[in-house]
Amino acid sequence: MRRIPVSLAVAVTATVALCCGGGGLVVAAGTMTGGSPNKPRTQNASTQCGTAANIPTVKRDTPKVAGFNARQIENAATIVKVGQDLEVPPRGWIIAVATAMQESSLDNLGHLGEDNDHDSLGLFQQRPSQGWGTPEQVRDPVYASKKFYQALLKVPDWQTMPLTRAAQTVQRSAYPDAYAKHEPKATEIVDKITGGASKTAVTAQVAGRCAKPDEVTSGGWVRPVDAPVGSGYRTAERPDHQGVDLSTRRGVPVRAAAAGTVIHMECDKAEIGYNCDRDGSPSTPGCGWYLDIRHSGNWVTRYCHLLRKPLVGTGDKVTAGQQIGLLGTSGHSSGPHLHFEVHKNGGRTKATAINPVKFMADRGAPLGEGKRA
Ligand SMILES: [Zn+2]
């Protein structure tokens, strides 16, 4: 079934001369508004990528995280600190905290009597009978964290695979997808404890080295294309523009902004007889070749106006930074650019669209050009 909202979101501006376009005109128009929404906010992101200094014990100054008490956050801090002491890169800290959230809600669980799952104990619900250690050992948060990290480091490509798969490989859980839902909160907790370590480059060994523009962050995000932000999100001129336009050369790779699953891919044929394989125009309606990816945390990213049929289809799993297509100008478009949207709550409509510039800057993967420190 064709989804009307896509066409509406993009095509409603068809009467505006400078619609979805690349080139200097659009950039100039964006500048003229004096609008901050169009300006990439690289400044903020560069200063908060965690610290390589020793993470303090947080007993006296436990950060506040909604939904968690001080004891739970202290347990998270212990997990992070052990990771740092073992020189596990920050991506591992997020995976470990998300795993403990799923296994124990960050509570160092003792034996729960009849409710206990086999002989599972402690923050990671490790089982003495499976060789994780004695019951006393696995209830020691430092020991338990150490054992988790040792197992994680043996998983090939753990830093680039989806968090839930890395966690599942270590835990051998009966619920392999259960860890994914904890990723955003685990990221938030690690950031509060470390001052933004999720923005450290995923390849960095220590916290504090911000991801470069085309590197994936430890939180698992990367900008989808190397291009300046042209026409912005819901500007005065285009209040129904639900994303941003990233304008650059035709044919450059477009990449998945984070790991996830493609939930929709099609040629948005709002005009009869248009197959998306030729360039669109300001009078062509629709998104052209486009796709939507759902990420953990139920975020959805959308990529419009691709040059050809995307390299991935509905149901495919993608990793962060994986090439998904080529930048083009199919559909409602006046020049080569990527129209990029971010949606919350798993949505795909106007009601769920949020500002991609802010969203990506907050994750240490700001849109737009420019080097970060
Ligand atoms: Zn656009």
pTM: 0.83
Q: Which domain holds residue 89?
A: 70-199
In a domain, 373, yes or no: no
> Are residues 224 and 126 located together in one domain of the fold?
no
> Are residues 25 and 104 located together in one domain of the fold?
no
> Are residues 287 and 193 located together in one domain of the fold?
no
In a domain, 142, yes or no: yes
Q: What is the CATH number of the domain that holds 347?
A: 2.70.70.10
How many domains does the chain fold into? 2
Q: What is the Å distance from ligand 1's center to 298 Cα?
A: 22
In a domain, 369, yes or no: no
Q: Is the pLDDT of residue 295 over 60?
A: yes
Q: What is the Å distance from ligand 1's center to 313 Cα?
A: 22
In a domain, 50, yes or no: no
In a domain, 57, yes or no: no
Q: What is the Å distance from ligand 1's center to 230 Cα?
A: 9
Q: What is the Å distance from ligand 1's center to 243 Cα?
A: 6
Final residue of a structural domain among 170, 199, 228: 199
Residue with tokens 């939930």: 263
Compute the average pLDDT of residues 344-364.
96
> Are residues 242 and 327 located together in one domain of the fold?
yes
Measuring CA to CA, how many Å separate 282 from each of 11, 143, 214?
9, 61, 30
Q: Is the pLDDT of residue 55 over 90?
A: no
pLDDT score for 205: 85
Q: Which two tokens stand for residue 305?
A: 């106006």
Compute the average pLDDT of residues 291-315.
96
Q: What is the Å distance from ligand 1's center to 318 Cα?
A: 23
Q: What is the Å distance from ligand 1's center to 43 Cα?
A: 24
CA angle 296, 302, 308 (to 5 degrees): 125
In a domain, 53, yes or no: no
> Are residues 97 and 31 located together in one domain of the fold?
no
Ion ligand 1: residues, Cβ under 5 Å: 20, 245, 339
Residue 90 confidence class, pLDDT cut points 50, 70, 90: very high
pLDDT score for 370: 53
Q: What is the Å distance from ligand 1's center to 159 Cα?
A: 32
Q: What is the Å distance from ligand 1's center to 355 Cα?
A: 12
Q: What is the Å distance from ligand 1's center to 339 Cα?
A: 4
Average pLDDT of the chain to the nearest whole number: 85
> Are residues 109 and 185 located together in one domain of the fold?
yes
In a domain, 55, yes or no: no
> Are residues 223 and 340 located together in one domain of the fold?
yes
> Are residues 226 and 352 located together in one domain of the fold?
yes
> Are residues 174 and 288 located together in one domain of the fold?
no
Q: Is the pLDDT of residue 31 over 60?
A: no
Query: Over the stretch 152-206, which tens digit does the pLDDT of each residue have?
Result: 999 999 998 899 999 999 999 888 889 999 999 999 999 999 999 999 999 988 8
Final residue of a structural domain among 151, 170, 199: 199
Tell me the backbone φ, ψ of residue 352, rounded to 5 degrees: -105, -5
> Are residues 117 and 244 located together in one domain of the fold?
no
> Are residues 347 and 228 located together in one domain of the fold?
yes
> Are residues 223 and 284 located together in one domain of the fold?
yes
pLDDT score for 15: 31
In a domain, 77, yes or no: yes
Compute the average pLDDT of residues 203-220.
91
Q: What is the Å distance from ligand 1's center to 39 Cα?
A: 15
Q: What is the Å distance from ligand 1's center to 323 Cα?
A: 20
pLDDT score for 91: 97
Q: Is the pLDDT of residue 273 over 90?
A: no
